[in-house]
Structure 1
Amino acid sequence: MTTPFLIFIVISAVALLLFMVLKLKISAFISLLITAIYVGIIAGMPLKDVTKAIQDGMAGTLGFVATVVGLGAIFGQMLESSGGAESLAHYLIKKFGTDKASWAMVITGFIIAIPVFLDVGFIILVPIIYALSRDTKRSLLYYGIPLLAGLAVTHSFIPPTPGPVAVADIINVQLGWVIFFGVILGFPTAVIAGPIWGKYIAKKIHLPPPADFEVSKEKTYDENNLPSFRMIALIIAIPLVLILVNTFTGLAVKKEFIGQSIYTDALEFIGHPFCALIIATLIATYFLCLKRGINKQKVLELSTKALGPAGIIILITGAGGVLKQILVDSGIGKIMAEGMANSALPPILLAWLLAAVVRVTQGSATVAMITAAGIIAPVLSEFGLSDPHRALVVLSIASGATLLSHVNDSGFWLVGKYFGMNEKQTLQSWTVMESIIAVCGLTFTMLASLFF
């Protein structure tokens, strides 16, 4: 298989995917499967091997992703339904004061988006942005951009949100390393894209709060009886800490800093993402819902509701796993890796570029992340990268998948609607903020890769 033909296969596969999603309006799940079949056939795979690769790729990916994303969705739903997001925001605003409330909002967004989807977190917290803007007479963007930056960075960088979970599984890296680097590199990224950019753009675009804007979100909690900040912070920290303990215990045993024993096995077991999220979800269900008066039937309904959007993401991720398997089984992945070994482009930059191209063209960050991961995964397996370096590739993909959110992205219209902006203003504020996240994320991951 010649290099020009290989390049043709990859470019034509991405073009086919984009054509089906954008022009034919076929769902991303079906489009990814068709693209994978196309790659297998054009690469000369026997048809029986193509169908086997579809089954193997789907099965190998969903075993982990379906469990983690499903549990994470229920965990987030319990937090959302208890008023935890509002509690966190009110506490931080009180601590920081109105003058520094933009910092409170970026921290709120950064923490809340760990278990709660970006759009949900934004809709829950936007009334607080309105209130701050009314009280201080500042532009909505002064507080809104920091909140959105915190939400966007965490939604893309830190598990158990679906994007990084899916990419980490396709690339085969422990979630603990993704969480570790996601927090360390993500927070400065959120600060630059949030309070710093928000302060600047708020001077250029003054947006008053809407006079009579109704946020159409049914609340299942009493706003006068919110859970405490300490409880919310502790519950969100539980799965992250357990997963990190699992990762670093395994590393310590591998490096022979400590000997393997029943205690290290126990730590690795409870810190496995499955166990960590089961524990966190049960604790959240009891302390945030049952103990606060939400009946068992309502909890069951909330759990079922949470799995709806999660199911879509799980299936798209499975299709991404199929694309990866086709590339592996056809031998394209190995040839790509050999070609890249002589290339000036490091894997981190190539992964970022792949995600950025798909993101800018078709709008969905999730599809961009999963497509880029599916293409780059076979290449990485030939490079023998360490887990920390693979985690940095995950973050570079996440960064590329945030670039240039514009009119083909639902987030663009959501933000514009709630802040009362026209398309030009949304491009000047939200789109630039997303691009700052993309560029800073790439820069920080490249710098970190020099040390790992």
Structure 2
Amino acid sequence: MDQSIYLLLVTLCSIALLLVMVTRLKIHAFVSLLLTSAFVGLAAGMGFDEVLVSIEEGMGGILGFIAIIVGLGSILGKLLEVSGGAETLARTIVQTFGSDRTSWGLTLTGFIISIPVFLDVGFIILVPIVYALARKTKKSTLFYAIPLLAGMGVTHAFIPPTPGPIAVADILSVPLGWVILFGAITGIPAAILAGPVFGHYIGNKIHVDPPDFSETAEESVTETNKSDFFMILTVILLPLVLIVLATLLDLLVEEGTIAEGILIIEILQFIGHPFSALTIATLMAAYFLGYKKGFTGKEVLKFTDKALAPAGLIILVTGAGGVFKQILIDSGVGEALAELLLAYNITPIILAYIMAVVIRVTQGSATVAMVTSAGMVAPIMSEFTLSSPEKALVVVAIAAGSSILSHVNDSGFWLVNKYLGLTEKQTLKSWTVMMTIVSLTGFAMALTMSYLFF
């Protein structure tokens, strides 16, 4: 058997093994990815010691960056949650847009809120606003919930510092600034189509009243501490602006447009590094959304501890994705797959999307789909001459693929089902279709940009 074909079969078997362990045997994704990585290495002919060294290098190589970014982002999101900042931001935006354009305001709200706050947490915080709007207008909750969820779904998958795109960007060695830029460019049309457009359609097709328990939730939200709107907006958007600015300055310095060694440029590059930018935003949040809102230092520390607990699981799964990538590189599987792609003229962006779709639909977790797909594509991309912007579009393609067809094996499906009081059929017709629109639109945008501009 040809070696390239054999290694392709090894890769396909590894994916099947991963899916069986996660879905059938219910083994945690972190452990499943480690076992799958070891299987690939040994099946590809690596020695036992070589496999262990690759596992250590793969884990260590990615966690140095991921752990800091995910940790800081989680703390920032937690402070925004406990201060009442998320609710304040949502109510201000919705009021600004007015009753006729409420769905657009909710999409923008979801888009901004989900940058530092996990989708599930953000939705639980803001769903009382959906209940209140539905009761006031007598419209279906889907008319308001779908636009909010669409905005959240896009930024949760497409735009750092949410864990998924950060993990993929690091595994593929793509500067975060390019991922933020192209994630926004491709994500905005996806959010519009899946949010206000589809939300208006499905809200008229399926009428769902707010669930009975929602009245208590509406009352409790008015007791939340309020924060200043513009300060909240600054805390959320400042790190993104700094990171994109630093990325553009790096590009101009590399091209010779700006001379090296200029102090102000070096300072902007330093504070625009993801570590610096998120540290600045987190400190601002701790002061303005913590101490200034009456929380003691002990309470802020407690919030920080709570924020880092779920972050730890994400960091470990991401690290295991780095292990998978390293094994594919060291075993030669990545190079062999790249040769097959070149022979059949398949571009990395298409492969990345297809892999993410298959893994996402089969096992449900968007994070697992993203890190596994990135691990497979990373060694392949090294055989292609791709610029940082082109690599960023591959990140977007993976994010889009990991968003498609959320169904009964995805926790997000049941979160929406429970909080909106939907049947399983209604959830499939609304939430599942919405996420599929996000996926297809995002991928279509990324693919079009890759062909037109690169």
Q: TM range, normalised to the smaller chain?
A: over 0.9
The CA distance in 1 between the partners of 2:286 and 2:115, in whole Å, is 17
The CA distance in 2 between the partners of 1:80 and 1:7, in whole Å, is 45
The CA distance in 1 between the partners of 2:448 and 2:88, in whole Å, is 36
Residue deviations 1:348-403 (CA, integer Å, cap 9, x gap): 11100001100000000000000000000000011121000000000100000011
The CA distance in 1 between the partners of 2:205 and 2:376, in whole Å, is 41
**CA distance 1:215–1:275, change in 2 (3 Å):** farther
CA apart distance, 1:214: 6.2
CA apart distance, 1:93: 1.3
**CA distance 1:156–1:218, change in 2 (3 Å):** farther
The CA distance in 1 between the partners of 2:424 and 2:432, in whole Å, is 10
Match of 1:401 in 2: 402
Which amino acid in structure 1 is aligned with residue 110 of structure 2? G
Match of 2:274 in 1: 273
Q: What are the equivalent positions in structure 2 for 1:196-207 lying under 5 Å apart? A: 196-207=197-208
The CA distance in 1 between the partners of 2:217 and 2:406, in whole Å, is 24
Contact 2:131 2:214 in 1 (8 A): no
Contact 1:77 1:303 in 2 (8 A): yes
The CA distance in 2 between the partners of 1:369 and 1:418, in whole Å, is 26
**CA distance 1:219–1:372, change in 2 (3 Å):** farther
Contact 1:82 1:221 in 2 (8 A): no
Q: Mind listing any 5+ residue stretches in structure 1 that lack a counterpart?
A: none
Matching of residue 256 in structure 1 with residue 256 in structure 2: yes
Contact 1:110 1:151 in 2 (8 A): yes
CA apart distance, 1:219: 7.9
The CA distance in 1 between the partners of 2:213 and 2:76, in whole Å, is 33
Residue deviations 1:4-47 (CA, integer Å, cap 9, x gap): 21221111000000011111110000000000000000000011
CA apart distance, 1:215: 6.7
Contact 1:82 1:220 in 2 (8 A): no
The CA distance in 2 between the partners of 1:309 and 1:18, in whole Å, is 23
The CA distance in 1 between the partners of 2:32 and 2:252, in whole Å, is 42
Contact 2:8 2:333 in 1 (8 A): no
Residue deviations 1:240-276 (CA, integer Å, cap 9, x gap): 0111111011001001111012222221111110011
Match of 2:242 in 1: 242
The CA distance in 1 between the partners of 2:39 and 2:367, in whole Å, is 21
Which amino acid in structure 1 is aligned with residue 251 of structure 2? L
Aligned residues: 451
Three-state SS of the structure 1 residue aligned to 2:381 is helix
The CA distance in 2 between the partners of 1:332 and 1:194, in whole Å, is 40
Contact 1:81 1:221 in 2 (8 A): no
Contact 2:128 2:218 in 1 (8 A): no
The CA distance in 1 between the partners of 2:57 and 2:213, in whole Å, is 53
The CA distance in 2 between the partners of 1:210 and 1:356, in whole Å, is 33
The CA distance in 1 between the partners of 2:217 and 2:207, in whole Å, is 24
Q: What are the equivalent positions in structure 2 for 1:218-367 lying under 5 Å apart? A: 222-223=223-224, 225-261=225-261, 262-367=263-368
Which amino acid in structure 2 is aligned with residue 21 of structure 1? V
Residue deviations 1:106-150 (CA, integer Å, cap 9, x gap): 000000000000000000000000000011111000010000000
Residue deviations 1:389-438 (CA, integer Å, cap 9, x gap): 00000010000001100000010011011111111000000000011111
CA apart distance, 1:221: 9.4
Residue deviations 1:88-109 (CA, integer Å, cap 9, x gap): 1111111111121100100000
Is 239-248 or 107-116 further displaced after alignment?
Answer: 239-248
Match of 2:179 in 1: 178
Residue deviations 1:297-347 (CA, integer Å, cap 9, x gap): 110000000001110000000000000000100111111112211223221
Contact 2:238 2:281 in 1 (8 A): yes
The CA distance in 2 between the partners of 1:260 and 1:158, in whole Å, is 29
The CA distance in 2 between the partners of 1:301 and 1:327, in whole Å, is 40
Three-state SS of the structure 1 residue aligned to 2:160 is coil
The CA distance in 2 between the partners of 1:215 and 1:149, in whole Å, is 25
Match of 2:440 in 1: 439
Match of 1:375 in 2: 376
The CA distance in 2 between the partners of 1:344 and 1:126, in whole Å, is 46
CA apart distance, 1:227: 1.2
Report the TM-score, using the length of structure 1 for normalisation: 0.97
Which amino acid in structure 1 is aligned with residue 367 of structure 2? T
Matching of residue 154 in structure 1 with residue 155 in structure 2: yes
The CA distance in 1 between the partners of 2:220 and 2:274, in whole Å, is 30
Which amino acid in structure 1 is aligned with residue 252 of structure 2? A
Match of 1:57 in 2: 58
Which amino acid in structure 2 is aligned with residue 268 of structure 1? Q
Which amino acid in structure 2 is aligned with residue 449 of structure 1? S
Which amino acid in structure 1 is aligned with residue 75 of structure 2? I
The CA distance in 1 between the partners of 2:391 and 2:217, in whole Å, is 41
The CA distance in 2 between the partners of 1:218 and 1:445, in whole Å, is 42
Which amino acid in structure 1 is aligned with residue 268 of structure 2? L
CA apart distance, 1:218: 12
**CA distance 1:319–1:422, change in 2 (3 Å):** same
**CA distance 1:329–1:212, change in 2 (3 Å):** closer
Three-state SS of the structure 2 residue aligned to 1:383 is coil
The CA distance in 2 between the partners of 1:295 and 1:218, in whole Å, is 26
Three-state SS of the structure 2 residue aligned to 1:29 is helix
Which amino acid in structure 2 is aligned with residue 321 of structure 1? G
Three-state SS of the structure 1 residue aligned to 2:53 is helix
CA-based RMSD of the aligned residues comes to 1.5
The CA distance in 1 between the partners of 2:18 and 2:144, in whole Å, is 37
Match of 1:136 in 2: 137
Match of 2:88 in 1: 87
Which amino acid in structure 1 is aligned with residue 55 of structure 2? I
Matching of residue 417 in structure 1 with residue 428 in structure 2: no
Which amino acid in structure 2 is aligned with residue 394 of structure 1? V
Contact 1:123 1:215 in 2 (8 A): no
Report the TM-score, using the length of structure 2 for normalisation: 0.97
